[in-house]
Amino acid sequence: MQLRDSDHFSLIGAGLAGPVMATYLSQLGYPVDIYESRSDMRVNSQSAGRSINLALSQRGIRALKDIGAFKKIKSSLIPMNGRMIHDADGNIHLQPYGQKKNEVIYSVSRSKLNKSLMDHAEGKENVNFHFNYDLRDIDFQNSKLNFQNKNIPFRRVLGSDGASSKVRASISKDSDIHFSKRPLGHGYKELTIPPNNSTGFQLDQNALHIWPRGQFMLIALPNFDQSFTCTLFLPMDGDNSFTSLNSEKKVVDFFKNYFPDAEELIPNLSDEYHKRPVGKLATIYCDKWHYGGIAAIFGDAAHAIVPFFGQGMNASLQDCTVMNSLVEEYEGDWDVIFSKFSDNQVPNGYAIADMALENYIEMRDSVNDQKYKIKRQLEFDLENKFWDRFVPRYSMVSFYELPYSEVYRRGEIQFKLIDSFIEGIITKKKLYADIENKLSPIR
């Protein structure tokens, strides 16, 4: 491997995406210094950030495989075959994510994954980590990174410093990038279903559990220690909101009323509820992800999204894969690499942001509705018949690497065809003909 010392990268943020991008670059011979505002989570046991566990799917797996990190993390993954719906009457049923054996998503511990990715990147001789380096802003005129305590010169900067990115803010001060933050108005709180002493997992461990209740929902993902992390998603204000659930009694009554089967499994419900912070949710839309050939942003810094498609991390890792292939293709031409990266990925960021918002309504409301179930079955039937043309949108997002903007485009065509057929506007013959005409083969 040729060491490309002349191009040095300062990468801000050692969350989930930063170490992956650093490893990709190091594999191509580029030295990378990573600056992280927190202390080293491998040394100081502290929360690794927001959610306790995450759903990992194809786009993320692809990046982990490319950098040689997948084997190490594989044994810590718990496959989830589908959504286990817990309805208001206490009945449960499984809605599979896909139809093929390998069409599953995986629950993984955020902290375990983050630590493992840091170890993996640090194992490369040209990657160095610097902890407790909190970036304040970037002085592009004098090529200086201004940290809380010192200024450090840079050659090229990559920003994976999350939703409140200082790299993004600094670029936008100096250039024509625009971003906006749209709060969802709903937040989340995590709670725990501990393992049972005799049976271990208290719910089916190979499913993502959902209690859909219209304006709000509870979900639960399995952990390796046989517990489940539940996430309660609620409006911030109004009836049944984080503001209105302001006493022990109200919380317990709320759970007994809406989630009685879950309430029985969370032993310290009101204690945990009051101790845990409320996380706020928002979408970041950013129309350009680079500053010439000098700086680029990726991951949540470029496209923080709401978590309802389980794609934020997966999208962030796909950014790394896309950047890597551009670096290989346009070796050393950073103006071209960064501008192509931005041109490719901005529409994908918008598309997954919108699909994630749409999925909130699907998860909290539609999943248990008869019409939704009929449409879902029809999607699977059409996939069986037109396996290379008609792939359900959920599958395209989770089990394929097709750009999200293309997934969105195809998804819109598919949804329209399905609606028209179900409403009797088009015949089966026309449905089949339109699939052949409007959807090109994707493999």
Is residue 161 near ligand FAD by the rule CB under 6 A? Answer: yes
Positive or negative: CA dihedral 290, 296, 299, 302: negative
Is residue 285 near ligand FAD by the rule CB under 6 A? Answer: no
- Binding segment for ligand FAD (CB under 6 A), chosen from 122-130, 237-245, 299-307, 335-343, is 299-307
Residue whose Cβ sits closest to ligand FAD: 15
Is residue 316 near ligand FAD by the rule CB under 6 A? Answer: yes
Is residue 35 near ligand FAD by the rule CB under 6 A? Answer: yes
Is residue 160 near ligand FAD by the rule CB under 6 A? Answer: yes
Among 10, 13, 348, 360, contact with ligand FAD (rule: CB under 6 A): 13
**Smaller CB separation from ligand FAD, 84 or 135:** 135
**Smaller CB separation from ligand FAD, 15 or 222:** 15
CA distances from 67 to 70, 72, 352, 373 (A): 8, 11, 24, 39
Type and span of the H or E element at 383: helix 370-385
Q: Is 208 helix (H, G, I), strand (E, B) or coil?
A: strand
Q: Angle at Cα 375 formed by Cα 374 and Cα 377, nearest 5°? A: 65
Is residue 14 near ligand FAD by the rule CB under 6 A? Answer: yes
Interacting residues with ligand FAD between 55 and 114 (CB under 6 A): 55
Is residue 313 near ligand FAD by the rule CB under 6 A? Answer: yes
**Smaller CB separation from ligand FAD, 137 or 406:** 137
Task: For residue 39, give the nearest of 30, 49, 31, 28 by alpha carbon.
Answer: 49
Among 188, 228, 254, 291, contact with ligand FAD (rule: CB under 6 A): 188
Give the integer Cα–Cα distance in Å for 394 and 93.
18
Is residue 36 near ligand FAD by the rule CB under 6 A? Answer: yes
Q: Which residues contact 278 (CB under 8 A, 6 or more apart)?
A: 187, 188, 189, 236, 242
144-147 vs 135-139, strand pairing mode = antiparallel
Interacting residues with ligand FAD between 327 and 366 (CB under 6 A): none
Among 212, 310, 349, 392, contact with ligand FAD (rule: CB under 6 A): 310
Within 10 angstroms of residue 148's Cβ, the number of other Cβ atoms is 10
Among 120, 156, 166, 375, contact with ligand FAD (rule: CB under 6 A): 166
**Taking a C-beta distance cutoff of 8 angstroms, is the pair 145, 10 a contact?**
yes
CA atoms in the 13 A half-sphere facing the CB of 369:
11
Give the integer Cα–Cα distance in Å for 286 and 168.
9
Is residue 18 near ligand FAD by the rule CB under 6 A? Answer: yes
**Smaller CB separation from ligand FAD, 230 or 431:** 230
- Binding segment for ligand FAD (CB under 6 A), chosen from 15-23, 178-186, 339-347, 413-421, is 15-23
Among 66, 122, 300, 379, contact with ligand FAD (rule: CB under 6 A): 300
Is residue 207 near ligand FAD by the rule CB under 6 A? Answer: no
